[in-house]
Copies of this chain bind each other. A is one copy, B any other.
Amino acid sequence: MNDASQPTFRPYLRPCRYPSAMSEAAADEAYDAAVVDLLGVLAYGELSAFERLCADAALAPTLDDKAEIAAMACAEFGHFQLLRSRLNELGADSETAMRPFVAPLDAFHASTSPADWLEGLVKAYVGDGIAADFYREISVLLDDRNRALVKEVFSDTGHSVFVVAKVRAAIEDDPRVGGRLALWGRRLMGEALSQAQRVAAERDALAGLLSGASGAGGMDLVELGRMFTRITEQHTKRMSALGLAA
């Protein structure tokens, strides 16, 4: 099937732009490292989302609300377990794979610690939404199996209906709440972007995946710009679903 004049690509890769100086083996290695990095950041993201939702559950005004948030926390933990299993399948140690992302993700959560129940709800919906959009965009650079895993991890678990109803009701009760939560939503977006940049800057393998240097397709600057536009549009949609100005 291969024409000798063409480089052979790993079947799951989009047309490859890795530098001609990089051998195929080196490209494979770079790609594998990028996948482990990506699964590592996702796994720790889910584990810390579990913890953060547990803290939110403690702020719940009723036992039903507490149970709803606890269900969201356990759904995140289920995703963590899927990601950890895949890391193990790939021969990676999950603790080692997650370790580089503990500090930046903890910093994100520390800088966006909800002051009350409503801020927690908005963070769960808006913050997770931004993360989900971002990782789904990146997943197009992955092979089928890992792309399917990322899709599953970020599938809507049906909890957004609960959050939207609670936040809209609170704004209806007291419209001033809407102004405060709109500011909060914007801050979440800003912090998420700055943490994402920090992670990409520190992790060569992930940056390589995005740029194509790791042997996968990668995105050029125009594509990156379009990706951020799409993420911003989705964020605006979520804010307006909550009744908030983005």
A47: chain B residues within 8 A (beta carbon): 63, 66-67, 70
Given A47-B67, A67-B80: A73 and B95 within 8 A (CB)? Answer: no
Q: Please tell me if the beta carbons of B63 and A57 are within 8 angstroms of each other in the complex.
A: no
**Cβ proximity bits A65-79 to B, threshold 8 Å, 1 near / 0 not:** 011001101100110
CA distance A73 to B50 in the complex (A): 10
Enumerate A72-99 residues with CB–CB distance to B below 8 Å. 73-74, 77-78, 80-81, 84, 94-95, 98-99
Q: Please tell me if the beta carbons of B44 and A63 are within 8 angstroms of each other in the complex.
A: yes
- Name the CB-closest residue of B to A99: B63
Q: Please tell me if the beta carbons of A74 and B78 are within 8 angstroms of each other in the complex.
A: yes
Residue A64 interfacial (CB < 8 Å): yes
A94 to chain B, nearest CB (A): 7
Give me 4 other A-B pairs in contact (C-beta within 8 A), A63-B94, A67-B80, A71-B81 excluded: A47-B66, A50-B57, A51-B54, A71-B77
CA distance A156 to B234 in the complex (A): 44
Residue A62 interfacial (CB < 8 Å): yes
Which 10 pairs across A and B sit closest by C-beta, in order of nearness? A54-B54, A74-B74, A63-B95, A70-B77, A74-B77, A64-B95, A63-B98, A50-B70, A51-B58, A51-B57
A17 to chain B, nearest CB (A): 35
A99: chain B residues within 8 A (beta carbon): 63
A106 to chain B, nearest CB (A): 11
Given A74-B78, A77-B71, A80-B67: A95 and B57 within 8 A (CB)? Answer: no
**Cβ proximity bits A36-60 to B, threshold 8 Å, 1 near / 0 not:** 0000000010010011001101100
A204 to chain B, nearest CB (A): 22
CA distance A81 to B50 in the complex (A): 18
CA distance A50 to B58 in the complex (A): 11
CA distance A79 to B63 in the complex (A): 15
A67: chain B residues within 8 A (beta carbon): 47, 80-81, 84
CA distance A64 to B71 in the complex (A): 21
- Name the CB-closest residue of B to A84: B67
A77: chain B residues within 8 A (beta carbon): 70-71, 73-74
